Amino acid sequence: DHQTKRLIADAGYKLNTVLPEGEILYLKTTANLSTGGTAIDVLDSVHPDNVHIAERAIQILGLDIGGVDIVAPDITSPISENGGGIVELNAAPGFRMHLQPIKGLARNVAEPVIDMLFPPGSSCTIPIIAVTGTNGKTTTTRLLNHIMKFVGHTVGMCTTEGVYIKNRLVYKGDMTGPNSHKMVLTDPTVDMAVLECARGGLLRAGLGFKHCDVGVVTNVSADHLGLNYIDDLDKMARVKGVIPEVVKPDGYAILNADDEHVADMADNTKGNVIFFSLEGKYNPVIKEHLKAGGRTVIFEDGEFCIMKGKWKYPLVEAKEVPITFDGKAIFNVANVLAAIGAAIGMGVKNENITAALTTFFPSFAQTPGRLTMMDMGNFKVLVDFAHNVAGYEGLAEFVKSLNPGKTIATLCLPGDRRMEDFEEVARIAAVTYDGVIVFEGYERGQEKGCISSTLQKYLIKH
């Protein structure tokens, strides 16, 4: 290189010169290891004044970690007295010379760096909220994203619509599996993860994390039965039960006390348990949990309430929470209960939970395709992602509560559902709506036209 050629020329030699016996010619004037320098550990002999000067230089630059290059005749005496000086400051110093010196003691300089970044006893992961269940996962996930964003977190969220960072869609698709979760968990801008965990991802590839701080199970009902050897609710509950099983010992499992399959999951979690219930304090699971001093979230007399023992705190009325439609959307009331429990588990203050709930709307901006209502003037359009029997039952009850005039429904069901599911969904639609339009979508192995013709057959039957 240029430096080598210059030093050879300065000595009066050429590249092909053979040095006289005993003569040494240094081809580099720098001490870097990459240019042939030698690393010798001198930590124990550095003069305290030089240590102070080096630390001050790094602190003045505002660095937590830095490398200080000093040229001096003697490192054991102050450079302020021996003519030495600092020649370079590095924001990203090398570790190799300290870890593997040619001479002297090896120093594990990486350890104090890691201890500074992650003090002993502190968490080395961002907080994770994991949400699973048959219905209500996406709405609960989106509501929790809103609550955590409301209290100042930079949230990474995975749902069936995609991956969101800071409420912005960064990857579109059904992103409820472990690979999607890793996209959020490896994003350096995110300080809170809210992850929807669907059955398919759990069965195919497991989890994208080892533990979570809060695990939510909304419910377990007949959906996807007959797939992947999961043919009854007990087996489905074992799949969903993975989430409370990985809750940290100091974390919280948020469980539906009205669903016995979900309530039983309390026996398999190492974390604390917060039950939620539409039935309220009369639910036997809630009664026992309160008697034991546990916390619960209930819906009573049109209010969302937090209870512990005999203490009850009315949080907010349903009429003030837009996604409940004045409490008529019972399934969203249940989703709100689950979200409140999770927010409590994350340490969110009651007043902040209330404020967040009252600013979350059933809109395409906040809950696209989840009970989204559009006023078209002389009629209204309601869009919802009901895709199983329980979902269609809940939607039918909500529509009836609105006391509408004429109702027309567009109807579809994923092609991998059982034939009895097709018939039951068609029956619900036939007795609820004045007219039904069937359409194709989510064929999942079915031939084109099969879904609509099957639904049509059962609609005519009922």
Q: Which of 117, 147, 168 is at the close of a domain?
A: 117
In a domain, 7, yes or no: no
Q: Which residue has 């917060």 as its token pair?
A: 274
Do 151 and 100 lie in one domain? The reply is: no
pLDDT in tens, 36-77: 788 999 999 999 999 999 999 999 999 999 999 999 999 999
In a domain, 5, yes or no: no
Contacts for 408 with CB less than 8 Å, ≥ 6 apart: 433, 434, 435, 436, 437
Do 183 and 323 lie in one domain? The reply is: yes
Do 141 and 179 lie in one domain? The reply is: yes
In a domain, 123, yes or no: no
Q: How far is CA 19 from CA 5, 271, 370, in A?
A: 15, 75, 83
Do 180 and 247 lie in one domain? The reply is: yes
In a domain, 177, yes or no: yes
In a domain, 24, yes or no: no
For residue 346, give the CATH number of its domain: 3.40.1190.10
Do 87 and 157 lie in one domain? The reply is: no
Do 301 and 413 lie in one domain? The reply is: no
Whether 215 contacts 254, CB under 8 Å: yes
pLDDT at residue 223, rounded to an integer = 66
pLDDT at residue 225, rounded to an integer = 61
Do 111 and 133 lie in one domain? The reply is: no
In a domain, 365, yes or no: no
Q: How far is CA 335 from CA 80, 83, 137, in A?
A: 68, 72, 8
Q: Give pLDDT < 50 ranges for the chain.
A: none
Reported pTM? 0.77
For residue 419, give the CATH number of its domain: 3.90.190.20
Whether 211 contacts 217, CB under 8 Å: no
Whether 413 contacts 422, CB under 8 Å: yes
Q: Which of 65, 93, 117 is at the close of a domain?
A: 117
Per DSSP, the chain holds a count of helices (H) and strands (E) of 17, 17
Tokens, residue 49? 């004044």
Do 158 and 233 lie in one domain? The reply is: yes
Number of domains the chain is built from = 3
Q: How far is CA 453 from CA 279, 384, 387, 416, in A?
A: 39, 22, 17, 15
Measuring CA to CA, which residue among 55, 64, 54, 65 is closest to residue 93?
A: 65
Residue 59: its H or E element: helix 48-60
Measuring CA to CA, which residue among 437, 438, 440, 456 is closest to residue 448?
A: 440
In a domain, 432, yes or no: yes
Q: How far is CA 406 from CA 117, 326, 380, in A?
A: 62, 22, 11
Residue 319: which domain range?
128-357
- The Cβ-side half-sphere exposure at 241, using a 13 Å CA radius, reads 18
pLDDT at residue 195, rounded to an integer = 97
Tokens, residue 240? 């969903």
Do 275 and 339 lie in one domain? The reply is: yes
In a domain, 40, yes or no: no
Measuring CA to CA, which residue among 359, 307, 363 is closest to residue 337?
A: 307
Q: Which of 304, 326, 357 is at the close of a domain?
A: 357
pLDDT at residue 231, rounded to an integer = 65
Measuring CA to CA, which residue among 216, 252, 247, 238 is closest to residue 141?
A: 216
pLDDT at residue 200, rounded to an integer = 78
The residue length of the chain stands at 462
Say which amino acid occupies 300.
E
Do 396 and 424 lie in one domain? The reply is: yes
CA–CA dist 173, 89 (Å, integer):
47
Do 86 and 230 lie in one domain? The reply is: no
Phi, psi of 115 (to 5 degrees): -65, -35
Do 338 and 450 lie in one domain? The reply is: no
